[in-house]
Amino acid sequence: MGTRSIVRKGWQALVSPQRAREPLRILELGAGDGSLLLGVARSLAPRWPRVRLTLLDRQDIVSPATLEGYAALGWTAQVLATDVLDWADAHDEGTQGGAAQRWDLISTALFLHHFEAGALERLLAAVAARCDRFFAFEPDRAWLALTGSHLVGLLGANAVTREDAVLSVHAGFRDRELSGHWPRDAARWQLHEARAGLFSHCFSAWRMQEAR
């Protein structure tokens, strides 16, 4: 799917080269083991030298080697082990992840399609309240992506991965569906949503008063 390349380009479209040279706070939702963004960080680090990265996931499965990989690039990475909906619902300003914690960029990859409409809107409302820029990379719910999902077995994928690929496409997004779940005060935001590549769907949002 070219995930790393799409995420890198999505971030660069949201953050100007001048802003990228300043300290940046980035939060990844549904970060898993952190390896996906490590590949993105390796390509961006020469131009994004001072990043404080928070990797949020329900379980802490980020290895010391992965954290060391970020450190070698000059990035500071930390794990926030919590359920993302608990993070979304947190309002205690004294806790990390609460209303007082903000990020320059929140990003997520292949994560939003796991949520039903109500939970998705809760999550996006929290995102809009806690950042200035947001990027999401999701499956494209289209016939070409569905065809491709049925062919992942040719790449050596096991039965579980083959089933997940098909289910992910069925749960994916198209047109301006994510825009429709964004908070109703979206007049303060600029939104962009479109297909990316052959199988992917991307959504970007940024505060209009923010210089990218």
DSSP string, 140-163: B-SHHHHHHHTTGGGGT--HHHHH
Residue located via tokens 């390896």:
35
Pairing type for strands 200-207 and 133-139 reads antiparallel
pTM (global) more than 0.85: no
Pick from 196, 150, 185, 193: which is nearest to 170 by CA? 150
**Which pLDDT score, from 0 to 100, does residue 166 have?**
37
**Which pLDDT score, from 0 to 100, does residue 187 have?**
66
**Which pLDDT score, from 0 to 100, does residue 176 have?**
80
**Which pLDDT score, from 0 to 100, does residue 151 have?**
36
Q: Distance between CA 97 and CA 48 in Å, rounded?
A: 23
Per-position pLDDT tens, the chain of length 212: 578 999 999 999 999 999 999 999 999 999 999 999 999 999 999 999 999 999 999 999 999 999 999 999 999 999 999 999 999 998 544 445 444 589 999 999 989 988 989 999 999 999 999 999 999 998 884 534 444 443 333 344 334 333 343 344 445 676 688 998 899 876 689 999 988 765 688 999 999 875 45
